[in-house]
Amino acid sequence: MPDAPDHAPHGQLPDGGTVRPMTRWGEAVMHRPQQLVTSFDDALRTLVADLVATMYAADGVGLAACQIGVDRAVFVFDCPDESGEHTVGVVCNPELLLPEVGARHLDEGDEGCLSLPGAFIECPRPDFATVHGRGLAGEDVAFSGDGLLARCLQHETDHTFGTVFGDRLSTKQRKRLQKQHEKMADEFPEDWPASG
């Protein structure tokens, strides 16, 4: 596991969680807005610890609660920005802020999702993003970044609103993505990464 929690501006990610199976695209919880977090309690801490353990087990840079089948608007991340510096965090009830259209530059890079493992395709997104929300103890948090971090913050916030990145693709691109995923299916059994 990386030492990235040392770089956390809002405290370390909780550890001691249980690795859970990944919920896949097509499951109802993945495609609806998630319930807001209203209790910042031990149950939330346990959920977040499980998210962290599952994210690391899957070699991901971010994970939302819906991706382990839990209907809550929360995600965790441990992700590098353009310079390679890692930021880690927990965001409940995220709100995404993007540059104004005139000041916006698109990153045309590839994107993937742990809930459709093994598949990647180009998905243009703004190359800078800021997310505001609440932390594990209910405190106000904000994270900003460029590069992969900007993509991650947008991708995970989307999950809390029931959007998978395939929703941002053309039908043709989505079919290509699905074919890639199907070719890799044997490497990702139904209980992955808990089975790993």
User: Of the residues 95, 100, 156, 190, which is catalytic?
Assistant: 156
E strand residue ranges, the chain: 62-64, 74-80, 86-97, 106-107, 110-112, 120-122, 125-126, 128-134, 140-146
Long-range contacts made by residues 26-30, C-beta under 8 angstroms, separation at least 24? 27/69, 29/66, 29/69, 29/70, 29/71, 30/66, 30/67, 30/115, 30/159, 30/162, 30/164
Euclidean distance between CA atoms 30 and 34, whole angstroms: 9
User: Any bridge partners for residue 77, and if so which?
Assistant: 62, 89
Active site residue 156: yes
Count of CA atoms in the C-beta half-sphere (13 A) of 176: 10
Count of C-beta atoms within a 10 Å radius of residue 194: 17
Phi, psi (degrees; rounded to nearest 5) at 96 = -95, 135
Residues labelled catalytic:
156
